[in-house]
Amino acid sequence: MEFVRISRNAWGQSELLGASWEPLWLFVAAGLAAIVVHALFVAVASRRANKTGRRDRTGGA
């Protein structure tokens, strides 16, 4: 994967053009991954909270 776009000018020198668009999907994937990670964290945390609540109501153990 290329991270920058480079071309050759009329004198054969390499020239930095800008960001490569190849990593674009990575940024979209990172956003979607953050959603999945957060949703999982919330699910685990609420399960843990429910368990603790049940234990408190039944007097421990």
Partner 1 sequence: MEAAADEGDAAPGRVIRHRLPERLFHWVMAASMLVLLATGFLPVIGIKFPWVTIHWIAGLVLTAAILFHVVRVSGWLGFRGMSVRLDDLRHAVRHATGRSLSGGHRSGKYELAQQLYHHTVAIIVLAAVATGIVMMAKVDTPLWQRDPYLLASYTWGIVYVVHGYAGMALITLLIVHVYFAFRPEKLWFTRSMIVGWITEREFRERFDPERWRPERRDA
Q: Which residues bind partner 1 (CB under 8 A)?
A: 4, 9, 15-19, 21, 23-24, 27-28, 30-32, 34-35, 38, 41, 45, 48-49, 52
Query: In angstroms, what is the minimal distance from the CB of 17 to partner 1?
Result: 6
Output the six-digit token pair for 13: 């020198």
Task: Return the number of other C-beta atoms located less than 10 Å from residue 23's C-beta.
Answer: 14
Query: In angstroms, what is the minimal distance from the CB of 42 to partner 1?
Result: 8
Query: In angstroms, what is the minimal distance from the CB of 10 to partner 1?
Result: 12
- The CA R_g of the chain, rounded to the nearest whole Å, is 25
Cβ atoms 14, 6 nearer than 8 A: yes
